[in-house]
Amino acid sequence: MKNKPSIEKLVSWKDKDNQLVIHYIQRWVEISYPKGEPINYNPFLEEIFRKIIAQHLDLYAVVADDEKEQLVRQAMSDFRISRSNNTQVFRQILADLVWEQSQIPASLFYVLFPLHVSSGFWPIKRLKMLDVLFFSRSWLYVQRRFKIEDFFTHTENHLGIAMDRSPSDYKDVLQSNFLPLITAVCGRTEREAFDKASRAFEFFRSLLNLYNTFGKVKRHYGPAQRPLGNILASPAFAVFGQDKSFSSSPYYNTLIYPRYPSADALIIDQVEQARKLSNRLGMPNDEKSTQYLLLEALEKYGQALDTTEWRLAFLTLWQILELATLQEENIKMTDVIGRVRNIFEHDRLYSDLLDTSLIKRNSLVHRGQFPDLHGLEEVGYLKMIVERVINALFNLADELPDKNSLKLFYELISKGDADLQNQERVLKYVQARRRKTT
């Protein structure tokens, strides 16, 4: 058993958030026990305080926001019982809960991810994404080995209402238009196991959509808005225990579509390309790595292709341009545009299309104006630009492994040949001097 870390390691927050965290812990104490006497506290205010506190905490071995909030909720309850008003006591209670959870032994769970593709068009039996191994199976295989009917029973009523159809139709929709992908994951809780596998699955689905819709612009007909992607997000997921029994409740997607059309648009080459790329992508440990940046871009790309809110899709895609060009360095928008143009090697068509999208972006951000009637097309044009940027990041990641080298690349590629030759001459001179002194 590991030695228990210090309270500062188990529960920490940034120095700049110190007053904020302490303030809301004390505010919570005030509404719970004014002058030390218990009263009927306000649960709505407590919920707000809990969210604010949890958002600014770093908890040992805890990543998911809802898991963090649950621990803070339990700590608040125990703190109330202790009748203390000392914030350090609250921190100690929370640290004990965090440590207790971290010591729960890992168990094996099976997670079912329905993928919106037809099994008749699926050539891959196994694939690896972010170090998570998935196996494609048939629904008959799943029914024989897992208690899948319990999953259907739990989901039919909920999804039947959301999809505006008979609850019994949901099972047919899932089995007709989705392929089951299954992975075995170890976790201390089923939520931890699900979160480990879920991110990898969504990244792979983003890759499929990238290759399936690359360079394509959808046209909009009819009143209902629709997403850019063809491989839609599954409405629900299932977690099974080591004994193949269904967990207590399904995991529902926050985005559920009224219809899931037959997904037969994939071709074998697109699937193979996505699989090969997924094999190259491991889980990066360094947030400053170019690969980490690439995964963030893919995550946002998937979100943009899932939403039916075209304004949100447009802004999310634009965030990818800012992310890829390192706008976190507080560079100006003109520099973002300049860096994207350099990625395009000043391709005239894409440079002009980028200028057009910038006008639409400024109109949306500063005046709230967006062409709703042709919104899908405008988003589609920006999607074409973003896809070329993501493709460039894949190629740059091997040669430029971190953000510092990527930043230097953007600085150098904007210079003329004469400037580069002069910089190269000075660099060689500096290196020669250093060799003489060593």
Residue range of the domain that includes 13:
7-102
Does 36 fall in a domain? yes
Task: Measure the CA–CA gap between 165 and 305, rounded to whole angstroms.
Answer: 24
**180 and 96 in one domain?**
no
Residue 428 lies in a domain: no
The backbone torsions φ and ψ at residue 226, rounded to the nearest 5 degrees and listed phi first, read: -135, 160
SS3 437: helix
Question: 113 and 254: one domain?
Answer: yes
* Whether 119 and 32 share a structural domain: no
Give domain status of residue 431, yes or no.
no
Instruction: Report, as an integer, the average pLDDT of 261-266.
Output: 64
Q: What is the pLDDT of residue 406?
A: 92
Cα radius of gyration (the chain): 26
pLDDT computed for residue 11 by the predictor: 92
Most confident region among 50-64, 219-233, 306-320 by mean pLDDT:
306-320
Residues 6 or more apart in contact with residue 380 via CB below 8 angstroms = 216, 217, 218, 228
The answer to whether residue 91 is domain-embedded is: yes
- In sequence order, the β-bridge partners of residue 237 are 251
- 379 and 399 inside one domain: yes
Q: DSSP 3-state helix, strand, coil percentages of the chain (rounded to 5)?
A: 60, 10, 30
397 touches 282 (CB < 8 A): no
- The band of 248, judged by pLDDT with boundaries at 50, 70 and 90, is low
Q: What is the pLDDT of residues 277-336, one digit of tens each?
A: 887 777 777 888 999 999 999 999 999 999 888 889 999 999 999 999 998 767 788 888
CA distance 206 to 139: 23
Selection from 47, 362, 49, 391 nearest residue 210 by Cα: 391
Reading across the β-sheet that carries 236-240, which strands appear in turn?
Answer: 126-129, 132-136, 179-187, 107-115, 236-240, 251-252
- CB contact at 8 A, 340 and 385: yes
pLDDT 10s digits, 159-177: 655 555 555 566 777 888 8
Whether residues 262 and 116 fall in one domain: yes
Specify if 112 maps to a domain.
yes
Q: Is there a single domain that holds both residue 347 and residue 386?
A: yes
Q: Number of folded domains in the chain?
A: 3
Q: Where are the alpha helices (DSSP H) in 307-374?
A: 310-324, 333-343, 348-367
Gap between the Cα atoms of 271 and 203, Å rounded:
14
- The answer to whether residues 69 and 126 belong to one domain is no
26 is a domain residue: yes
Domain membership flag for residue 289: no
Q: Rounded to an integer, what distance in angstroms lies between the CA atom of residue 215 and that of residue 268?
A: 18
Q: State both tokens at 76.
A: 């608040």
Q: What angle do CA 275, 276, 282 make, to 5 degrees?
A: 90
Structure confidence by residue, pLDDT tens digits, 396-434:
888 999 999 999 999 888 888 888 889 889 888 888 888
Domain identity same for 114 and 95: no
SS3 category, 246:
strand
How many C-beta neighbours within 10 Å does residue 147 have?
15
Whether residue 115 sits in one domain with residue 95? no
Percent of the chain having pLDDT more than 70?
Answer: 87
User: Which of 146, 115, 142 is CA-nearest to residue 129?
Assistant: 115
Higher-pLDDT residue of 254 and 412 is 412
**Residue 145 belongs to some domain of the structure:** yes
Cα–Cα distance for residue pair 74/80, rounded to 1 Å? 10
On whether both 137 and 261 belong to a single domain, the answer is: yes
**Identity of residue 121:** F
User: Are 69 and 48 within one domain?
Assistant: yes
- Say if residue 235 is in the same domain as residue 333: no
The confidence score (pLDDT) of residue 308 equals: 85
